[in-house]
């Protein structure tokens, strides 16, 4: 299982409504009758709150959430039912040899952490029954100030020796790359991108947002005596780049989507 940050479900859960919009928009593009869906897998399910919404969408389906974070899966257990279960697992190692055919695979805000993500797509498609659906959403905001400031600061001393490599991430595939990769696997593909303009409440809201996601590997790589200084300086730069207004702080956030149906 790959080395990954220790995720904090509480921090990640801040701004849950804003984080949930892309998930809802992704699932809405899966055009399948509810009674046709019997097995659903959510790869990278996090704390399970979004996965739980699938119970109503597919009321006769058995749904499994998988995540590499024990903390996230522990939090997700509060949503478990007789139709919804959660398991610790590595997305890169799924599906296993005994995995039964799946009707719908959802992977939301997960594959961006895996540089070789396009290499995983053939295995995901093979796990689908004929006519099954694969739905992917990843952030595409690697060039946003929230990330460029993080890389710049993490590359300066005294932080660089600990954090410089933790701030780097492979470029996200665009819609065209998903179309090419998934059509090659015999799928009909709908891929697009959207930039959400989230209006976030609270003090230094963008810092609070990225502490739960993109900045977490960097913050965790730093010794305790440096982490507070880094967070203070990073927060000040973010506050300048994303000024707080009377109505909140606007965070433009680009996301990339691909929904593919395996040909029958």
45 CB burial (10 A radius; 0-12, 13-18, 19+)? buried
Is the pLDDT higher at 94 or at 213?
A: 94
Phi-psi region of 131 (alpha: psi -120 to 50; beta: other; left: phi over 0): left
Assess contact for 172 and 147: CB atoms under 8 A: no
Among the CATH numbers 3.40.50.720, 3.40.50.150, 1.10.490.10, 3.30.70.1060, which is that of 9-262? Answer: 3.40.50.150
**Closest C-alpha to 106, from 137, 83, 69, 62:** 137
pLDDT higher than 80, residue 181: yes
pLDDT higher than 60, residue 4: no
| pTM of the entire predicted model | 0.92
> Could you tell me the pLDDT band of residue 97, with boundaries at 50, 70 and 90?
confident
CA dihedral in degrees (120, 126, 128, 132; nearest 10)? 90
The pLDDT value recorded for residue 85 is 98
d(CA 233, CA 95): 42
What are the structural domain ranges in the chain?
A: 9-262
143 CB burial (10 A radius; 0-12, 13-18, 19+)? exposed
pLDDT higher than 90, residue 61: yes
pLDDT higher than 70, residue 9: no
What are the pLDDT digits (tens) for 106-153? 999 999 999 999 999 999 999 999 999 999 999 999 999 999 999 999
- Provide CB contacts within 8 A for 195, sequence distance 6+: 252, 253, 254, 255
- Provide CB contacts within 8 A for 107, sequence distance 6+: 42, 43, 44, 91, 124, 134, 135, 136, 137
pLDDT higher than 80, residue 7: no
What are the pLDDT digits (tens) for 160-172? 999 988 877 778 8
The pLDDT value recorded for residue 1 is 32
pLDDT higher than 70, residue 257: yes
Averaged pLDDT for residues 253-258: 98
> Could you tell me the pLDDT band of residue 10, with boundaries at 50, 70 and 90?
low
- What's the mean per-residue pLDDT of the chain? 93
**Closest C-alpha to 182, from 100, 93, 99, 257:** 257
> Could you tell me the pLDDT band of residue 3, with boundaries at 50, 70 and 90?
very low
* Residue 161 Cα distances to 148, 153, 189, 220, angstroms: 18, 12, 43, 13
Lowest-pLDDT choice from 70-74, 92-96, 202-206, 214-218: 214-218
């Amino acid at each position: 299982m790959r080395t990954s940050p220790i995720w904090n479900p509480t921090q990640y859960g801040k701004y849950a409504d804003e984080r949930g919009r892309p998930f809802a928009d992704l699932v809405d593009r899966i055009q399948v009758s509810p009674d046709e869906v019997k097995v659903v897998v959510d790869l990278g399910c996090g704390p399970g709150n979004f996965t739980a919404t699938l119970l109503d969408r597919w009321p006769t389906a058995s749904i499994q959430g998988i995540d590499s974070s024990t903390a996230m899966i522990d939090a997700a257990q509060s949503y478990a039912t007789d139709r919804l279960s959660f398991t610790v697992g590595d997305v890169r190692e799924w599906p296993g040899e005994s995995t039964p055919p799946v009707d719908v695979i959802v992977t939301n805000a997960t594959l961006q952490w895996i540089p070789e993500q396009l290499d995983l797509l053939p295995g995901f498609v093979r796990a689908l029954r004929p006519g099954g659906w694969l739905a992917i959403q990843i952030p595409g905001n690697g060039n946003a100030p929230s990330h460029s400031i993080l890389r710049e600061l993490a590359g300066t001393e005294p932080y660089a020796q600990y954090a410089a490599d933790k701030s780097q991430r492979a470029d996200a595939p665009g819609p065209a790359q998903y179309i090419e990769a998934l059509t090659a696997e015999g799928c009909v593909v709908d891929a697009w991108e959207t930039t959400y303009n989230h209006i976030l409440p609270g003090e230094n809201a963008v810092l609070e947002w990225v502490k739960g996601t993109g900045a977490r590997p960097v913050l965790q790589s730093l010794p305790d005596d440096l982490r507070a200084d880094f967070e203070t300086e990073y927060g000040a730069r973010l506050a300048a780049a994303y000024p707080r207004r009377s109505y909140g702080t606007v965070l433009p956030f680009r996301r990339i989507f691909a929904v593919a149906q395996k040909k029958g």
